[in-house]
Structure 1
Amino acid sequence: MLAITNGILHEALLAPALGDGVAHVLSTLLLAAAVATVAALFVRRFAHEADRRTLLSIGGLWTVLTLAFEFGFGRYVVGKSWAVLLADYDVLAGRIWVLVPLTLLVAPLVAARYVERR
């Protein structure tokens, strides 16, 4: 739901107002922050009991499910080409979307460590 809301925000407000490049960076950072926040809320209940492997497994599951939805929906429902779908991951072209799956992967672990320290 976070990513869908972020996509709507990107297309409806950010891209028309800021241009695609700036909107891409801003929406990427907003989604990464939202994922980190949700991860902190999610792991708060069991942060002290969960081990590193479990937390990374949760992040891995979140990452796989998100990428499967993103590429499956984009390719087979919307009809985008693989090149278009992969373009947001081209860091050399200034596209930083790769931060989203990386955030999904490590967010439960980082959030648990943060919650433990508080």
Structure 2
Amino acid sequence: MAVIAVANGVFRETVLIDRVGEYTGHVLSTAMLVVAIIVVAALYFGTTPIDYTQAELLAVGASWTVLTVGFEFLVGFLEGTPPSETIAQYNVLAGQVWIVVPLTLLFAPLGVSWLSGQL
């Protein structure tokens, strides 16, 4: 998933923003990443013969979320971005939509398993 997320970011910065603008590019990129996360989760959790419990599926989703958010803050720190700027990306009242990505990461394993009849 990390490769998909990086490719999505490169596509946003090199193609989308030039064509549709900063905000629309951000929204489209976020939507594309959400779809990619669901597809990856479906490819694994929707077809695996392993019987995961709901708690295990939530633990996987929580791990994905913590690793992703942690990576964001680490990269921001290494680039010299203040934590307040990184946190601002989660402010839905300011029109930010990024919060959908960690929420998707958190619930995708459980949701895909439930929808595919694994639970």
Question: Are 1:45 and 2:48 counterparts?
Answer: yes
SS for the counterpart of 2:96 is coil
Q: What whole-Å deviation, never above 9, does each CA across 1:17-56 have from its counterpart, x for those lacking one?
A: 1111111111111101100100011212146x11110100
SS for the counterpart of 1:30 is helix
- Alignment partner, residue 4 of structure 1: 6
CA distance in 1 between counterparts of 2:99 and 2:22 reads 17
Alignment of 1:88-107 (within 5 A): 88-107=89-108
Backbone CA RMSD of aligned residues: 1.4
CA distance in 2 between counterparts of 1:72 and 1:35 reads 21
Matched residue type, 2:76: G
CA distance in 1 between counterparts of 2:41 and 2:92 reads 25
5+ residue gaps, structure 1, are: none
CA distance in 1 between counterparts of 2:49 and 2:57 reads 10
**How many residues are treated as equivalent by the alignment?**
115
Which aligned segments of 4 or more residues in structure 1 are displaced greater than 4 angstroms?
A: none
Tell me which of 14, 17, 28 is aligned to 1:15.
Answer: 17
Please, which moves more after superposition, 26-35 or 66-75?
Answer: 66-75
- Alignment partner, residue 32 of structure 2: 30
- Alignment partner, residue 65 of structure 1: 67
CA distance in 2 between counterparts of 1:70 and 1:82 reads 10
CA distance in 2 between counterparts of 1:11 and 1:69 reads 19
CA distance in 1 between counterparts of 2:44 and 2:81 reads 33
TM-score, normalised via structure 1 length: 0.90
CA distance in 1 between counterparts of 2:21 and 2:15 reads 10
SS for the counterpart of 2:113 is helix
Shift of residue 8 of structure 1? 0.7
